[in-house]
């Protein structure tokens, strides 16, 4: 048994496969297939979030259970920084006065 990266519909997975079985036969290690789909997120955001989970090797509840990790993943998926949002509000209110 070996591990490799498998891409399915733009989403990356770590899989276990055996060179002795037909191509396409594998077991997904993570992230769990469809996990982001349970959140009813729009595409391409759902795929981007899934691939961030893959890159960070967040495959289980234990991996994500730290609040800081979850916040970092969401910020990366949104591709914005919370400081940038705060600055936008500051500038808006400054211009409105």
The predicted-structure confidence for 31-90, as pLDDT tens digits, reads as follows 999 999 999 999 999 999 999 999 999 999 999 987 788 888 988 888 877 777 788 888
pLDDT, tens digit, for every residue of 9-43? Answer: 999 999 999 888 887 789 999 999 999 999 999 99
Q: What CA–CA distance (Å, rounded) separates 62 from 85?
A: 29
Tokens of 47: 């795929």
Burial class (CB in 10 A: 0-12, 13-18, 19+), 84: exposed
Q: How confident is the model at residue 92 (pLDDT cuts 50, 70, 90)?
A: confident
d(CA 32, CA 41): 16
This prediction has a pTM of 0.79
The average pLDDT across 2-8 equals: 92
């Amino acid at each position: 048994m070996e591990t490799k990266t498998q891409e399915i519909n733009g989403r990356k997975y770590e899989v276990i496969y055996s060179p002795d079985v037909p191509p396409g036969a594998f077991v997904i290690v993570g992230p769990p297939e469809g996990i982001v789909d349970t959140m009813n997120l729009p595409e391409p955001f759902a795929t981007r979030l899934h691939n961030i989970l893959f890159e960070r090797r967040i495959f289980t509840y234990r991996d994500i259970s730290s609040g800081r990790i979850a916040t970092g993943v969401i910020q990366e998926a949104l591709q914005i920084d919370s400081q940038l949002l705060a600055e936008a509000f500051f500038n808006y209110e400054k211009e409105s006065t």
